[in-house]
Amino acid sequence: DAGVIQSPRHEVTEMGQEVTLRCKPISGHDYLFWYRQTMMRGLELLIYFNNNVPIDDSGMPEDRFSAKMPNASFSTLKIQPSEPRDSAVYFCASGTSGQETQYFGPGTRLLVL
Amino acid sequence: DAKTTQPPSMDCAEGRAANLPCNHSTISGNEYVYWYRQIHSQGPQYIIHGLKNNETNEMASLIITEDRKSSTLILPHATLRDTAVYYCIVRPSLLTQGGSEKLVFGKGTKLTVNP
């Protein structure tokens, strides 16, 4: 099992540019989570999906952020336009009904200049 | 907001047991105690969870007090690779009414295992 796959692993962009982060969950998992981690705020849940449907997006900071899950094996988190305060590590995690655990990917380190 | 309180940092000698405490005095009857850890530059990793009975797996043991207001994660023989931030989280079980998939992470305990 390859685990949760995220791409890119590192992203450096300039303020105002669009950023797209990608996630491939573990095969067979029906839950997908997007988290953001910063020194100031720690690890925060942004949004999560169940069976490709967004369940709770209350953690999404503002309209510049959007997330989609077009199918069970792929999700994107988009920031448009990006700002320096969006610099963080973004983690994707997946899980399955009946299990109490979430499996995290290696994260995408985003730096917005 | 996180419902747990953990010491910000702890040290442990390699080969010795590491005992990480967690206070969760407002825990509800249907809430489990979960432990995750995050090794530097990696995503969080599940360790163990429990309701009221002590639990043990290949990674660690979880001791929950009888009143469930606190717990201790035990790494029986800590190694240098156990150096990480350890998060204690309380959350309703998915198998109970009101169960939630959401994990709310606090600041955790930075455990440093010294040679």
| A42-65 residue pLDDT tens | 999 999 999 999 998 999 988 999
Task: Give the model's confidence band at B41: pLDDT under 50 very low, under 70 low, under 90 confident, else very high.
Answer: confident
Supply B35's token pair. Answer: 């432990």
> Over the range A35-60, which residues count as b (16 or more CB within 10 Å of their CB) and which as e?
bbbeeeebbebbbbbeeeeeebeebb
pLDDT of residue B53: 85
| B56-74 residue pLDDT tens | 999 999 999 999 999 999 9
Distance CA A109, CA A105 (A): 12
Rounded to a whole number, what is the largest CA-CA distance in chain A? 42
Mutate to test the interface with B, among A26, A38, A101 (most CBs of B within 10 A): A101
Tell me if B94 and A43 make a contact (CB, 8 A cut-off): no
Closest Cβ–Cβ partner in B45, B49, B107 for A100 = B49
Q: Is the dihedral of CA B56, B61, B65, B67 positive or negative?
A: negative
- Touching check for A71 and chain B: CB below 8 Å? no
> Taking the C-alpha atoms of B87, B14, A89 and A98 in order, what is their torsion angle to the nearest 10 degrees?
-50
- Touching check for A4 and chain B: CB below 8 Å? yes
Task: Give the model's confidence band at A2: pLDDT under 50 very low, under 70 low, under 90 confident, else very high.
Answer: confident
Task: Give the model's confidence band at B100: pLDDT under 50 very low, under 70 low, under 90 confident, else very high.
Answer: low
pLDDT of residue B87: 97
Q: What does residue A84 show for φ and ψ, rounded to 5 degrees?
A: -55, -35
Supply A53's token pair. Answer: 């449907």
Task: Give the model's confidence band at A98: pLDDT under 50 very low, under 70 low, under 90 confident, else very high.
Answer: confident
- Touching check for B10 and chain A: CB below 8 Å? no
- Touching check for B45 and chain A: CB below 8 Å? yes
Task: Give the model's confidence band at B94: pLDDT under 50 very low, under 70 low, under 90 confident, else very high.
Answer: low
Distance CA B9, CA B6 (A): 9
Tell me if A100 and B93 make a contact (CB, 8 A cut-off): yes
- Matching residue, tokens 């995750």: B36
- Touching check for A96 and chain B: CB below 8 Å? no
Task: Give the model's confidence band at B28: pLDDT under 50 very low, under 70 low, under 90 confident, else very high.
Answer: confident
Secondary structure class of A41 (helix, strand, coil): coil
Tell me if B101 and A55 make a contact (CB, 8 A cut-off): yes
pLDDT higher than 60, residue A85: yes
pLDDT of residue A73: 95
Tell me if A50 and B101 make a contact (CB, 8 A cut-off): yes
Residue partners of A103: CB distance under 8 A and separation at least 6: A3, A4, A26, A29, A93, A94, A95, B46
pLDDT higher than 90, residue B102: no
> Which amino acid belongs to residue B2?
A
- Matching residue, tokens 């360790």: B47
